[in-house]
Amino acid sequence: MTAPTMAHRLAAEFVGTFLLVFGGCGAAVFAASPGGGKGIGFSGVALAFGLTVLAGVYAFGTISGGHFNPAVTLGAALARRVEWKALPGYWAIQVIGGLAAGAMIYWIASGRPEFTPTGHMAANGYGEHSPFGYSLAAVVIAETLLTFLFLMVILGATDDRAPKGFAGLAIGLMLTLIHLVSIPISNTSVNPARSTGVAFFNGAGAPAQLWVFWLAPLVGAALAGVLYPLLFGRGEELADRPVRDAALES
């Protein structure tokens, strides 16, 4: 079977990241508490994020690896599951996909009378911009730890030694759990593309705090990418999945 080209892989990462941000953040903006009334709440938003990544991994994982997250790509590169030369393109297209989804959420939400995007675009934040006022230190610890655990689950579920066909389920459930834990802390990032996608539409301090939601997830992912092979060994040198292009195959 012919390996996907880099163009195919980047297209898959764009669509998958768009799906993740639009599905997760869209659920928070449109359905968490519609019109100030009862909605799906934190639990519903957590499930929405989990379902979007589950669907994306099963739909596009065989094409691009199903990262949809710059932190995942970094951890995968460090664990030798994806080639380093793919990282810049993956990061760029993931951010573009997130921004496209943020723009679509903004345009749709603007069709509701009296909607204002300021502070209402599901942005991440700390201090006064945290849902419950958590400090910078608390947010950094939570985002770093949860991204580390997320990558450990991803690397374990996609290991050649893992049962086949269940990776998307494990990853989706883990992302749901992460959101159940950390929506009150930071509105949950663990994904710089997700944070970037809505920050500039949200305003209200979100762009100025965006650095945290790049730094902490990347640190957590890097730790997992280094430690997973050391702790559990390596079942593969480069994943024999869509992360190989024709040059690597040869």
Nearest residue to 158 (alpha-carbon basis) of 243, 52, 95, 86? 243
What is the total residue count of the chain?
250
Of 22, 201, 25, 194, residue with least CA distance to 110: 201
Q: Is the dihedral of CA 219, 221, 224, 226 positive or negative?
A: negative
Range in 20-29, 68-77, 101-110, 234-243 with the lowest mean pLDDT? 234-243
Tokens of 223: 């730790």
Distance CA(110)–CA(90), nearest Å, equals 30
Q: For all residues of the chain together, what is the average pLDDT? A: 93
**pLDDT surpasses 50 at 244:** no
Does residue 247 or residue 13 have the better pLDDT? 13
Q: What CA–CA distance (Å, rounded) separates 234 from 230? A: 8
How many other C-beta atoms are found inside a 10 Å radius of the C-beta of residue 38?
Answer: 9
Taking residues 49-56, what's their average pLDDT?
98
C-alpha 168: how far from its chain's center? 13
Q: What is the DSSP letter of 5?
A: P
Assigned token pair, 159: 């290991």
- Mean pLDDT, to the nearest integer, of 44-70? 97
Evaluate if residue 237 carries a pLDDT over 50. no
Between CA 174 and CA 192 the distance in angstroms is 17
Report pLDDT for 239. 43
Give the integer Cα–Cα distance in Å for 139 and 48: 22
Cα→Cα distances 108→22, 188, 207, 238, 242, Å: 11, 22, 21, 41, 34
The average pLDDT across 121-133 equals 97
